[in-house]
Amino acid sequence: MEHNLSDMRRHYEAAELSEENTPASPYLLFNSWFSEATASTIIEPNAMTLATASKEGKPSARIVLLKEINKDGFVFYTNYQSKKAKNLEENPAAAVVFLWDILEKQVRVEGRIEKIDPQISEDYFYQRPIGSQIGAIISPQSQKIATKDILLNRFKDLENSGNIKKPDHWGGYVLIPEMIEFWQGRPNRLHDRIVYELISPGHWEKHRLAP
């Protein structure tokens, strides 16, 4: 089936975003928007596209899940031996994008990445469902495997043994934001874009961008 992509478009008019109706802190606005997203029918409102780059500048992107927002930034968990982790070791600059399409909202965050406290990773690991714990242990993330049966057999073996322990190669990262942009869809592609830029610790400068 052929798709006429040039005719695919949507008229945005769900809300409006102005300098006057946005708070001084981007975290307050993010929490407000995130509450809207969690109250909506969006399946995984905490899904975000994480973009990284190698030391040569070769980009890579994938969906990860936001698991905490704290005073430092946006926290997610992964395998420290994965492709994304290797990128972040070489180049700790990263960006995430949240798209809440039915709300006609988007948030972009740019900043630097750091590993979180190992004890926090440890505590979170054992809060996860047992199946997720086992999956994190047995999967050599981003590496080639011959067949899926290898993973399924490893899963059964570990499930039967009950010897489940957080591996050293699994844990959390925090994206410490230096820029947070809020995008609200508007008619005629004249979208509202309000960006916050960190000018000193705890102090943000807010301005509008052209769509």
What DSSP assignment string belongs to the chain?
----GGG------S----STTS-SSHHHHHHHHHHHHHHSS-S-TTEEEEEEE-TT--EEEEEEE--EE-SS-EEEEEETTSHHHHHHHH--EEEEEEEEGGGTEEEEEEEEEEEPPHHHHHHHHTTS-HHHHHHHHH--TTS--S-HHHHHHHHHHHHHH------TTEEEEEEEEEEEEEEE--GGG--EEEEEEEEETTEEEEEE---
Torsions phi, psi for 77 (to 5 deg): -125, 150
pLDDT band at 8 (very low <50, low <70, confident <90, very high): confident
Catalytic residues: 189
Q: Which residue has the higher pLDDT, 178 or 1?
A: 178
pTM beyond 0.85: yes
Residue 206 burial (10 A CB sphere; 0-12, 13-18, 19+)? middle
Q: What is the mean pLDDT of residues 58-75?
A: 97
User: What mean pLDDT value characterizes the chain?
Assistant: 95
Count the neighbouring beta carbons within 10 Å of the beta carbon of residue 59.
10
Instruction: Kindly indicate the confidence band of residue 7, based on its pLDDT and cuts at 50, 70 and 90.
Output: confident
Residue 133 has pLDDT above 90, yes or no: yes
Tens digit of each residue's pLDDT (9 = 90 or more) over 25-50? 999 999 999 999 999 999 999 999 99
What is the pLDDT, as a whole number, of residue 1? 64
Which has more confidence, 129 or 6?
129
Map out the domains of the chain with their CATH numbers. Answer: 12-126+168-208 (2.30.110.10), 130-165 (no CATH)
Residues forming a β-bridge with 47: 65
pLDDT tens, residue by residue, 88-102: 999 999 999 999 999
